[in-house]
């Protein structure tokens, strides 16, 4: 048996086998106004640019934090691999030097008090990480 197709102007739900035009939230009659979605292209493009700028800023921030962490790691590795025969005290400033044999050592002597190749001044933090101090 051939199924009879309803005309386009009639709103018929095939699943429930009922006319549901009066139940829909939009007009279904032939004389109903045309439904046109608003053009949101400009809004999308503007927000895409804003979102991309936000992602770029976050990425650059994470990249900067990574570079700072790697720099701190290198300083810690440099100081912890140096020779010293004392137990450093948290919060005190120490100076790192290169000896004639290219080995490094940590000292309490300032650069003005000795004649070795000065590499930098460091302070041991409460988290047992070495912080490079600015020269001057």
CB 108 within 8 A of CB 87: no
pLDDT 10s digits, 4-22: 776 666 777 778 877 777 6
- Phi and psi, residue 87, nearest 5°: -95, 115
Residue 75 has pLDDT above 70, yes or no: yes
Q: Residue 56 half-sphere exposure, CB side, CA atoms within 13 Å?
A: 6
**Residue ranges per domain, the chain?**
41-133
Instruction: List, for residues 36-56, the tens digit of each pLDDT value.
Output: 888 889 999 999 999 999 999
Q: What is the pTM of this model?
A: 0.60
pLDDT of 16 reads 82
Structure-derived torsion over alpha carbons of residues 10, 15, 16, 22, reported in degrees to the nearest 10 = -40
DSSP state of 129: -
Q: Report the mean per-residue pLDDT for the chain.
A: 87
* pLDDT attached to residue 2: 62
User: Which two structure tokens, joined as six digits, stand for 107?
Assistant: 């000292």
pLDDT band at 26 (very low <50, low <70, confident <90, very high): confident
Confidence band for 99, pLDDT divided at 50, 70 and 90: confident
Look at residue 27 and tell me whether its pLDDT is greater than 80. Answer: no
Looking at residue 105, its pLDDT comes to: 93
């Amino acid at each position: 048996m051939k199924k009879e197709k309803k005309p386009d102007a009639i709103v018929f739900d095939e699943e429930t086998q009922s006319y549901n035009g009066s139940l829909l939230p939009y007009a279904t009659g032939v004389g109903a106004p045309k439904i046109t979605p608003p053009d949101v292209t400009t809004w999308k493009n503007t927000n895409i640019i804003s979102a991309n700028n936000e992602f770029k800023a976050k990425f650059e921030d994470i990249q900067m934090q990574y570079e700072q962490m790697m720099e701190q790691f290198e300083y810690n590795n440099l100081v912890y691999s140096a020779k010293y025969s004392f137990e450093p005290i948290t919060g005190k400033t120490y100076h790192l030097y290169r000896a004639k044999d290219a080995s490094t050592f940590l000292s309490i002597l300032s650069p003005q008090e000795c004649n070795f190749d000065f590499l930098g001044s460091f302070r041991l933090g409460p988290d047992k990480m070495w912080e490079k101090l600015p020269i001057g």
